[in-house]
Structure 1
Amino acid sequence: MAGNAGDQGSSGDQPKERDRRITDVGTLKALAHPLRARLMRALTLARAATASQLAEQVDEAVSLVSYHLRKLAEHGLIEEAEPRSADGRERWWQPASDGLSIHDEDFRDAPEKAAAHAAASRLFFDQRSGMYRRYLDERAHWSPEWTTAAESSESVLRLTAAELAELTVELRALARRYQELGRAADAAGDTEGRENVALHTDAFPFRT
């Protein structure tokens, strides 16, 4: 999982860590929970939200969502945000960083760490696959403009490990450029015609 989930109490106007690199098993396990991963994604899209708002999105009880939000906050993955309304009875939450990244080299030095990383990677992949299956189920309801623009393809390449690493860096930089373009447009109020777009890439070696 990369790119694309501090201390409590910082406001949404303060600069955030660009991509927090998760390096400890405790934080990885805190994130690699089906509901918490969904809450992180929902909160990333909303920028800031209350437990009630998130509970409605994930169709779970507010008390359960509040519990899991506190767990995410305990590991510094989310933090309290400045209230967006006059009602001060509920906490507002926001991601503590501008993105999250998880790297194999941080978890390969012990079997239990490698197992936790593998389990987390499977969960994230399953959730991404679920998002794409939902798009396929709903594709008929999207306009031709969007279905034509959408992409799903596979390229089989012959690369060295160094070349694959270079390709990965270039893909992340390209995705970041378009992410910043969309955020700048949102900040300027230019939201017409814009939708949330999920860009999933999986690049890995295999042998026939």
Structure 2
Amino acid sequence: MEDIAVITAVHHPLRRRIYDYLLLYGTAQVGTVARALDTQVGSISHHLRMLERAGLIERAEDPTGDRRTSWWRIARRGLTWSAGDFADSPADALLAREAQRQSIRMQIERLRRWQRRHDDPEYAVYDASNTETTAWATPDELRDLSARLLATLDEWRASVNPDDGQARTPIFFFAHAFPTRP
């Protein structure tokens, strides 16, 4: 189960963008992140420290040896959690439900942005992947499914060779599994 501090830290809109940037681009200097996200360095620094406190990112050595700037990298990839994990604490459950709503809004907005850009030649060669199914599961089986999906995604990500000369664009994968009725 994730700590509520981790969930609330990463579900702030700017912190989520910072986390996603570091996931995609690896170790980066604070000024580079600020320029990429069109945000002030001071604001980025503040949010980097919040993500660091949550254990999601960590400071990295400056590859140039110049210690006047701060460099950051991902400390851990991926989060798996449910608002139901916090049933014992009404306050944490409220925070988890709001983080879940924020996450779903962000996921849907990313999908909408992709749909609007589908005519862009850079994106036209990509076709969105739609994967869905309906099945029966216990709560433990649903947690197992989530863990297996995350492991499969990690395995797939490790199999991609970013140095093979092929042109790639960042992709976003999201999945939700929940009780339903036909």
TM over 0.5: same fold?
A: yes
CA 1:80 to 1:112, structure 2 compared with 1: closer, same or farther past 3 Å?
same
Q: Runs of 4+ in structure 1 displaced over 6 angstroms?
A: none
CA 1:160 to 1:75, structure 2 compared with 1: closer, same or farther past 3 Å?
closer
Q: How many residues align?
A: 180
- Measure how far apart 1:90 and its partner are: 1.0
Tell me the amino acid that sits aligned with residue 50 of structure 2: K
Mapped to 2, the partners of 1:106 and 1:164 lie a distance apart of: 13
Correspondence list, 1:151-170, <5 A: 151-155=129-133, 157-161=134-138, 163-170=141-148
- Measure how far apart 1:42 and its partner are: 0.9
- Measure how far apart 1:87 and its partner are: 4.0
Greater RCO, CA 8 A, separation 6+: 1
Q: 1:180 matched to which residue of 2?
A: 158
Deviates more, 1:95-104 or 1:106-115: 95-104
Deviates more, 1:113-122 or 1:172-181: 172-181
- Measure how far apart 1:108 and its partner are: 1.7
- Measure how far apart 1:154 and its partner are: 4.2
Q: Is residue 2:172 matched to residue 1:198? A: yes
**C-alpha contact (below 8 Å) 2:78/2:150 kept by paired residues:** no
TM-score by length of 2: 0.85
Mapped to 2, the partners of 1:167 and 1:72 lie a distance apart of: 27
Percent of matched pairs sharing the same residue:
29
**Aligned mate of 1:38, from 17, 32, 38:** 17
Q: Is residue 2:91 matched to residue 1:91? A: no
Mapped to 2, the partners of 1:107 and 1:143 lie a distance apart of: 39
Q: 1:11 matched to which residue of 2?
A: none
Q: Is residue 2:49 matched to residue 1:70? A: yes
CA deviations on 1:94-131 (whole Å, 9 max, x unpaired) are 11123333344541211111111111111112112221
Deviates more, 1:110-119 or 1:95-104: 95-104
Tell me the amino acid that sits aligned with residue 177 of structure 2: A
Tell me the amino acid that sits aligned with residue 24 of structure 2: L
CA 1:143 to 1:125, structure 2 compared with 1: closer, same or farther past 3 Å?
closer
CA deviations on 1:57-85 (whole Å, 9 max, x unpaired) are 22211111111111222232211112133
CA 1:26 to 1:143, structure 2 compared with 1: closer, same or farther past 3 Å?
closer
Correspondence list, 1:53-64, <5 A: 53-64=32-43
Tell me the amino acid that sits aligned with residue 201 of structure 1: A
Q: 2:126 matched to which residue of 1?
A: 146
TM-score by length of 1: 0.75
**Could you list the runs of 5+ residues in structure 2 that have no partner in the other structure?**
none
Q: 2:89 matched to which residue of 1?
A: 110
